[in-house]
């Protein structure tokens, strides 16, 4: 908990944030009024899912959530976590280096003959781009998934 100074500003740049799965995290206080986004300051986390920004303690933007959507879609398609073939330590090392996980071979093969499957794999890759600016917006992801769903129905 932060205490405030006599002007109401936090006396510490850090705050507690309740994150996914009720995981409490220490974050830099969001001073977005000054145009600076908050940042995670994690000591330990599941290295299979966080975004590069979280691992690098970079400013967080909505692109972090799109990266997370990509991780969930990866799990749905592959039946395994991203970095499924690595332990926590090696998964973290790969993430820090900007090395993204590959789909298992049997999942890659799904996209070879089916355009909708191929589109879904490509969407996951775009969501999980190392560079936040290369990720689609959440709205674009939703539209693209709706289009893929309609392609599957036909």
What pLDDT does residue 61 have? Answer: 81
The answer to whether 88 and 47 have CB atoms below 8 angstroms apart is yes
What pLDDT does residue 66 have? Answer: 92
Question: Domain ranges in the chain?
Answer: 1-43, 47-153
- Three-state secondary structure call for residue 14: strand
What pLDDT does residue 100 have? Answer: 87
- Which of 51-55, 113-117, 119-123 has the least mean pLDDT? 113-117
CA 95 vs CA 24, 70, 72: distances in Å: 22, 14, 16
What pLDDT does residue 44 have? Answer: 57
What mean pLDDT do residues 69-89 have?
88
- Three-state secondary structure call for residue 71: helix
| pLDDT tens-digit series, residues 7-59 | 445 555 566 655 555 556 666 555 444 445 555 555 555 666 788 888 787 87
CA 42 vs CA 9, 52, 90, 99: distances in Å: 24, 13, 17, 20
Crossing angle between the packed helical segments 63-78 and 138-153, to the nearest 10 degrees: 30
pLDDT band at residue 90 using 50, 70 and 90 as cut-offs: confident
Burial 133-154 (b: 16+ CB within 10 A, else e): eebbeeeebeebeeebeeeeee
pLDDT band at residue 5 using 50, 70 and 90 as cut-offs: very low
| pLDDT tens-digit series, residues 123-147 | 999 999 999 999 999 999 999 999 9
In terms of Cα–Cα distance, which of 111, 130, 153, 114 is closest to 70? Answer: 130
Alpha helices in 9-154 (DSSP H): 52-56, 63-78, 88-97, 105-113, 115-127, 138-153
For residue 114, the 8-state DSSP code is -
For residue 24, the 8-state DSSP code is E
More confident residue, 36 or 79: 79
CATH of domain 47-153: 1.10.510.10
């Amino acid at each position: 908990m932060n205490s405030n100074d006599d002007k109401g500003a936090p006396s510490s740049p850090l705050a507690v944030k309740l994150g996914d799965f009720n995981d409490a995290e220490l974050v830099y206080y969001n001073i977005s009024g000054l145009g600076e986004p908050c940042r995670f300051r994690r000591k330990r986390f599941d290295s299979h899912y966080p975004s590069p920004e979280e691992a690098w303690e970079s400013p967080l933007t909505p692109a972090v959530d799109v990266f997370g959507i990509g991780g969930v879609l990866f799990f749905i398609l592959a039946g395994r976590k991203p970095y499924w073939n690595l332990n926590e330590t090696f998964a973290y090392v790969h993430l820090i280096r900007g090395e993204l996980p590959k789909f298992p071979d049997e999942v890659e093969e799904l996209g070879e003959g089916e355009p909708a499957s191929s589109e879904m794999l490509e969407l996951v890759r775009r969501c999980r781009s190392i560079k936040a600016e290369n990720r689609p917006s959440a709205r674009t992801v939703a539209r693209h998934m709706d289009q893929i769903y309609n392609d599957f129905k036909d």
